[in-house]
Amino acid sequence: MIEDDTYRMSSQYRLWSYSPEQLHNQRVNTNHLASEKVRAAVSRARLSSVTGNGNGEQQQHKGSAVTDIETLTVDEELQIVRWGCQKILDMKNVFDHPLPSHVISTAIQYLRRFYLTNSPMTYHPKQIMVTALYLATKTEHHYTDINQYCAPLTNVTPEDVRAPEFLLMQGLRFSLDVRHPARSLEGGVSEIKLHASALSCFNGEDRAAVDKRITKAAETARRLLTTQVQMTDAYFLYTPPQIYLAALLVTDKTLTTSYIDHLFSRLDTAIGPIKQKLLETINGCADLIRAEQSSEADGEGTKKELARIGRKLKKCQDPEKTDIKALARAKATEKRETDAQDEEKVRKKRRLERERAERDGEVFGPELKDVGK
């Protein structure tokens, strides 16, 4: 189908779509690499402090102890990222003008994508999430001045927001487009309303009642898409139309199934086998959403679990990457110094050339070659 090929061209499909196994492998891989890095960094930190004391015996003892640092597991990492996503969602109403939901959704997806290749042990989400939201205001055409952006946030300076920006962009592979199912929902509802009279779930109901039911379902689905779906891996595993249909399925099952029946009765029979596959996929996505709903109900348990993970993370945070601002500043200084060094070299070369020319008495440079021959 032409529309499907359009989606296949998007960066969301090319770079950010995975099968469940791939997604899991990716996270395991990231976790493994990050754990190793943390261990190495911690051992380096201890080594330097110990050599400062000049105690060789203790150094050996501590060096071996490094291996028993308890790093986060993949699930714990996910919990932390999820906490960051929840925080972004909470930031929505902090500003004078509440941010539109698509900006929030984009920011959450940026954070989720970033933590596929980075671990919370390396960069804590609390540092990245403000940047993700600020980047999302820019990419979603909702410009906010950085000072105004920082004003309602406690303990956040413009530098805090700017420092990890390039890091985040790199983690996103510089692909900033996010295809939201909430946008698909809009067109989908318009299509459902158009074909409402032909749907099997409304037999003989009057127009007003039908419209009311569709609008109500759409509103609930929209709320699902902007909140609970954001907490799941749906964006990685499914395409936007599948996600919005799943959200509709959760809110109004008969309406959605009758719409899908109608849709496929209209389309060519050639794509018939897709219908079964599509229903399976949508049901899978709906299960994901329902699981999220039920886990959200258990608020107290999650809170305790988060507190535990937070304590654990404090111990296994990469000591070399905690201060992103300082890292960014050091990087900038280093760049400035190399630039200055290069400039110094050029200047020295010119001076030497000039001196040599003056010594030889050729103030206007050497004789021109190949002229007049």
Partner 1 sequence: MATNVLTQNGTFRMDASLASASDVCPVCKSTAQTSPNLRFKVSSKCYHRICEGCVDRKFSAGKAQCPISGCHHMLWKRDWRLQTFEDIQVEREVDIRRRVWRTLDLTNLGLVEPEGGWENVFEDLRGYNDYLEMMEEMAMNLITNIDVPATNKKLRDYETANGLRKDKDDPKALLKAPVRQPGDYPDLSGLIRGLKMKKVAPKQAAYDVWEGVTKQREYFSLSAKHESSWDHYTNKKATMAGGWNVADYTEESLLRAFSGLGVFIENEKGGKMDMRLPLATIAPHADDVF
Q: Give the single-character DSSP code of 204.
A: S
Stretch that binds partner 1, among 54-62, 63-71, 90-98, 263-271 (CB under 8 A): 263-271
Judged by CB under 8 A, does residue 93 bind partner 1? no
Nearby residues of 159 by Cβ (< 8 Å), 6 or more positions away: 325
Q: Which two tokens stand for residue 113?
A: 């994508």
Sign of CA dihedral 305, 320, 172, 108: positive
Spatial contact of 6 and 14, defined as CB atoms under 8 Å apart = no
Stretch that binds partner 1, among 4-12, 95-103, 141-149, 357-365 (CB under 8 A): 4-12
Cβ closer to partner 1: 335 or 345?
A: 335
**CB of 55: closest distance to partner 1 in angstroms?**
31
**CB of 152: closest distance to partner 1 in angstroms?**
28
Judged by CB under 8 A, does residue 176 bind partner 1? no
Angle at 181 between CA 294 and CA 126, to 5 degrees: 65
Spatial contact of 130 and 161, defined as CB atoms under 8 Å apart = yes
**CB of 220: closest distance to partner 1 in angstroms?**
16
Query: Contact with partner 1 (CB under 8 A): which of 46, 130, 240, 259?
Result: 240
Judged by CB under 8 A, does residue 238 bind partner 1? yes
Cβ closer to partner 1: 86 or 120?
A: 120
Spatial contact of 120 and 100, defined as CB atoms under 8 Å apart = no
3-state secondary structure of 98: coil
Q: Rounded CA gap, 189 and 269, in Å? A: 24
**CB of 141: closest distance to partner 1 in angstroms?**
14
Spatial contact of 232 and 94, defined as CB atoms under 8 Å apart = no
3-state secondary structure of 180: coil
Judged by CB under 8 A, does residue 99 bind partner 1? no
Cβ closer to partner 1: 124 or 179?
A: 179
Q: How many residues does the chain have?
A: 373
Q: What is the distance between the terminal CA atoms of the chain, rounded to a whole angstrom?
A: 71
Stretch that binds partner 1, among 77-85, 129-137, 185-193, 306-314 (CB under 8 A): 185-193
Cβ closer to partner 1: 15 or 306?
A: 15
Nearby residues of 331 by Cβ (< 8 Å), 6 or more positions away: none
Query: Contact with partner 1 (CB under 8 A): which of 58, 117, 144, 302?
Result: 117
Give how many residues touch partner 1 by CB under 8 A: 61
Q: Per-residue b/e over 25-50, b at no fewer than 16 CB within 10 Å?
A: eebeebbeebbebbbebbbeebeeeb
Which x/- pattern over 279-298 shows residues binding partner 1 (rule: CB under 8 A)? --x-----------------
Q: Rounded CA gap, 47 and 92, in Å? A: 44
Judged by CB under 8 A, does residue 324 bind partner 1? yes
Spatial contact of 80 and 313, defined as CB atoms under 8 Å apart = yes
Query: Contact with partner 1 (CB under 8 A): which of 39, 62, 126, 193?
Result: 193
Spatial contact of 120 and 72, defined as CB atoms under 8 Å apart = yes
Query: Contact with partner 1 (CB under 8 A): which of 50, 89, 167, 288?
Result: 167
Stretch that binds partner 1, among 61-69, 125-133, 180-188, 347-355 (CB under 8 A): 180-188
**CB of 79: closest distance to partner 1 in angstroms?**
20
Spatial contact of 281 and 243, defined as CB atoms under 8 Å apart = no
Binding residues among 120-149 for partner 1 as defined by CB under 8 A: 122
Where on the chain is the footprint of partner 1 (CB under 8 A)? 1-4, 6-8, 13-15, 17-22, 25-26, 29-30, 33, 116-118, 122, 166-167, 170-171, 173, 179, 183-188, 190-191, 193-194, 237-242, 244, 263, 267, 271, 274, 277-278, 281, 321, 324, 327-328, 330-331
